[in-house]
Chain A
């Protein structure tokens, strides 16, 4: 009996600590957004409380007096295009690897990892040259072309797991009913992996939004910058930091994304689960 209570207390203590670890920096950012400028730089009183009345001024400044709305728009365009390219290329690729190829398709999970060994930090110098050759330097389209290199391997790997989780008997049933491979894919298999594709879309969107190294290297014109490179360069001027605006920009991006992730959390875990079970089975 006592043991049970102890376990429960331990469980919620763990959950609480974990939650605090994740949330404290976010909370600090949230408080900063609404603090009056005079309240930011004071010694002594509790920095977690509003010593002056809270204000919305910084949010207004962020959206009215900075290029942040442009960055948001650029990031959204890049994100949507990257997600579209990623889904169009990696959904068929994952299906082909899961079902249509023989033994080496099964081993492809490993090969996809090897693509990951060539990270952006290794590629950004030659990639900059390629972007210049393509005439895309200093435009958001350079990111649309290049960022799928990060998202396609990952999403293909994750989708491979989703496709493998569908029993092969369903493909065979579709073939027996006179569906070809493509029709079987479209009508029987695809509808079952929509949650997986959704999880991939959220993941690809956030990866494309978060990439810093390419965004900082390829684009120097303010009007073409995305959130990730634009916010640090625009809102940090020399050693003047617009802390409240910076925190506001961070949360405006992070909170909607976290909600999207929260909705797909279980699907994401499910995708990793079947991708990993493929590893476990051998």
Chain B
């Protein structure tokens, strides 16, 4: 870079501090001083444990004997794949993430379509709207646990008042749905809670994309007589495509890696019907002490996530609408 000339003009000043200052002003030095600490930190606390995770998954390490001295090849992966619970957890992880993302995309697009306009009380609305995201995930799960309580759920109460639930109603004679005690209702509840928690973040990402679409495009379409839905499907959504991909990546990585929701809401029950991979890894690796198998479960998704993310990012970066 040609900019190193400027500081040289002050070279006469001398002194340690000045020399330090001049060194800082050279881009080649500065770039490593500024970038170095973050890169070192990430290598030490993401790269190193990641390699350790791979080593653990290939060893017979347990909590009792945590040394990685015996190489057992892919035995941990084989042992994990022989367990039915693993396949249920894998299916649930993919299903819950996919269903949440589908709902989130629709709701976040709708929400961002509303939030581009200004209205009275918008600041208050934004604060209330972002509340779910401001909650620590374990506490979100507790709120939903109480909301979907087997005996005292207010949702059940509303359904009974509406005549949908209770004796002689379409949903059967019981006055309770036992959301978290049944396999599919449990999975559905996890999806709803995940959507509730993630909608603010997804909306912010999509809204940011919506705001960078030039206003002239909408004006032109309106002059041409296009209606709301025509504009939405012909202009807004195609232009949002790269943003929607970013939103999908961000939120799905956060959903697929979260175990607190399942641990608190269903504990994977009934049986393993609502089990997901991160919680299964936790149960295997920490609770029952088999570090190797736990690491194998946790690593299982990585190659698939990597391929999916690279494909998605390439699609986003290459989008023709850009």
Contacts and interface: CB of A to CB of B under 8 A. Distances in A.
Interface in A40-99: 40-41, 43, 46-48, 88-90, 92-93, 95-97
B278 interface: yes
B233 interface: no
Contacts of B110: 14, 18
Interface of B: 3, 6-7, 9-10, 21-22, 24-27, 30-31, 33-35, 37-39, 41-42, 45-46, 48-50, 52-53, 56, 66, 107, 110-111, 114, 117, 119, 123-147, 151-152, 154, 157, 196, 199-200, 204-205, 207-209, 211-212, 228, 242-243, 246, 249-250, 253-254, 256-260, 263-264, 277-278, 281-282, 285-286, 291, 294-295, 298-299, 301-302, 305-306, 309, 313, 316-319, 321-322
A41 B146 contact: no
Contact of A122 (B137, B138, B299): B299
Contacts of A48: 154
A196 interface: no
Nearest to A232: B138
A26 B200 CA distance: 14
B142 A231 contact: yes
A114 B228 CA distance: 37
B258 A115 contact: no
B152 A40 contact: yes
B69 to A, nearest CB: 14
B122 to A, nearest CB: 9
B138 A149 contact: no
Contacts of B31: 96, 100-101
B146 A32 contact: yes
B37 A92 contact: yes
Please report whether the interface of chain B is mostly helix, strand, loop or mixed according to DSSP. helix
A127 B130 contact: no
A178 B9 contact: yes
Contacts of A265: 123, 126-127, 130, 204
Interface of A: 7, 11-12, 14-15, 18-19, 21-23, 25-26, 28-29, 32, 40-41, 43, 46-48, 88-90, 92-93, 95-97, 100-101, 110, 113-130, 145-146, 148-149, 152-153, 156, 175-176, 178-183, 206, 209-213, 216-217, 227-229, 231-232, 236, 241, 243, 246-247, 249-250, 253-255, 257-262, 265, 268-273, 275-277, 279-282
A47 B152 contact: yes
A262 B123 contact: yes
B253 A182 contact: no
Given A120-B257, A182-B24, 11 more contacts: A15-B119, A28-B154, A43-B151, A92-B35, A124-B282, A210-B137, A217-B286, A228-B137, A231-B138, A265-B127, A277-B212
